[in-house]
Each structure stands twice: as structure tokens, then as C-alpha cells.
Amino acid sequence: MAIPRQHMPEQDPAVRRQNFQEVNLGFTEELARKEALRCLECPNPRCVEGCPVKVKVRDFIRLIVDGDFLGAAAKIREDNVLPAITGRVCPQEVQCEGACVLAKKCGAVAIGPLERFVADYERKMGKIALPPKAPPTGKKVAIIGSGPAGLAAAGDLVQKGHYVTVFEALHEIGGVLVYGIPEFRLPKDIVREEVENLRRMGVEFLTDVVVGKSVTLDELMTKHGYNAVLVATGAGLPQFLGIPGEELCGVYSANEFLTRVNLMKAYRFPEYDEPIYD
């Protein structure tokens, strides 16, 4: 408890205001092990209860302390197939870290940054430890939407031996991870690599398919032989304030603003044009 929470290195403000590269740079091995030493290894880890997918937090942090970073990454992937993503954008402060017993007195263990560290480490080493799959069940599941809910479900279902197809209306897999989160917060390459890991596990991805128009739910169940359909289309509809001027040109909802910037690659200006008013 005498060790303070370690600060993740980040780009200098004078530098990052000139680019759209990732602001946070991630822990070094030394910082990761020092932060991991803060874990009290609680007999009844509340952090696990605070995690929606019940990642074995205590176990993977102990592996970091031991210097087994690849083992730590493999331990996370037993419950979470998207650690490089969730380590960056999952709301840890109100979930696992929010439940940490150290949170009130000396700062919660930095579970999110530690998760990101081991995910980045295994990617750098080129040794992704994909979880084992159960024998094929012969069952087919269609998932509509390739955002975080769809990808997480695909990872869980394919591990259980089911044949999984993810249908995406747009031309790139990722949903809000690609079209709704800025590049400096979650680089697109990170999402693409995690999607590729799901492909390696056996998940099929189909883009430019608008379910309801390109194919109907009934057709998926009857004509294409799917036994179940998960609708994971997200909540992308904006909520407007109902105030004068919100319909004017150059006034955007946050959803539209982020989608325009990401879809039209404005984060790579001047290589790509700027699809928004300054």
C-alpha cells in the first residue's frame, strides 16, 4: 500500500496537439510489475465481481508480478477475447477498478492499463494465446452488428463450438470501436488485429450486409439455417436537445461528428479531406 498508483506515460501535450496518434503510451515492463505489486490478492476479489465478463483479475496480475506477461494475457483471454480494446476503452473506473478495495484510500490498482500492457506485449511478441474451442456443436448463430457486444458474443460462442457469422452493415468490422471512438483513444489497427484474432478462432465476418434489407431475419433462420440470431446493433441514435439552431448546417450530434471523422478518415488530414466545418 506504500506504492502509489503508477502513471501511464503519454505524449507531451505540445506534441499530441499536432497529431491524432494515441495519447496514452502504455506501461513499460518495469512500471507494469511495480503497479501489479500494489494488488492485495484479496481472498474474495471484488474486482472480479465488478467485471461484466468476470476476468480473473487477481490471477493475471499475479502472473505479471512473476514476469509471465504472456501467461497473464492468456489468462485474460479465457474470459475476454478483446483485451487490447477493453484495456483502453472499457470503463474500468466504475467496474473492476471501481470495486477495488484500494480505490477509496490510495487509488485502485490500474487494472485497465495492466490489461492493455499484457495485450500489447503478446502482440509485440507475435504470440497471441487464443483460448481453446469446444468440439463443434453443429449449431449456427448469426450476430447482427460488429460492435463490442457483437464481437464479445462471437468470441464466447465460437469457443463453445458453435459456427458464428457476424453481419455488419458498413464496410469495416468494429462498429462504434471503429466509427465512434477517436483514433487517439483507440487506434483502428488495434481493433483490426483483435478482429483478425477472432477470424483465427473461426468467426466469419460479412460486411455491407443490411439485415432487414439485404437479408431478413426469417431468411437467416429458414433459408440459411441459423439456429439463433443475436441483434447487437448498439444504440447509435443521437438524442437532440430540441433547441433552436440544432438543424443548421455545421451543427452535429456527437454521434454524427465522430462517424464523419472516422468514416472519412479526417484524422489523417491532409492526406484525406476534412468532412466537417472548422
Give the DSSP letter string of the chain.
--SPPPPPPB--HHHHTT--S-SB----HHHHHHHHTT----SS-HHHHHSTT---HHHHHHHHHTT-HHHHHHHHHTT-S-HHHHHHHS-GGGTHHHH-TTHHHH----HHHHHHHHHHHHHHHT---PPP-PPP-S-EEEEE--SHHHHHHHHHHHHTT-EEEEE-SSSSTTTHHHHTS-TTTS-HHHHHHHHHHHHHHT-EEE-S--BTTTB-HHHHHHTS--SEEEE------------TTTTSTT---HHHHHHHHHHTTGGGTTTS---S--
pLDDT, position 10: 93
Cell numbers at 16, concatenated: 499530441
pLDDT, position 129: 85
pLDDT along the chain (278 residues), means of 10: 88 90 94 95 92 95 96 94 94 93 90 96 91 94 96 96 96 93 93 95 96 93 95 88 89 87 80 69
pLDDT, position 151: 96
Question: Which domains occur in the chain, in start order?
Answer: 13-125 (1.10.1060.10), 140-231 (3.50.50.60)
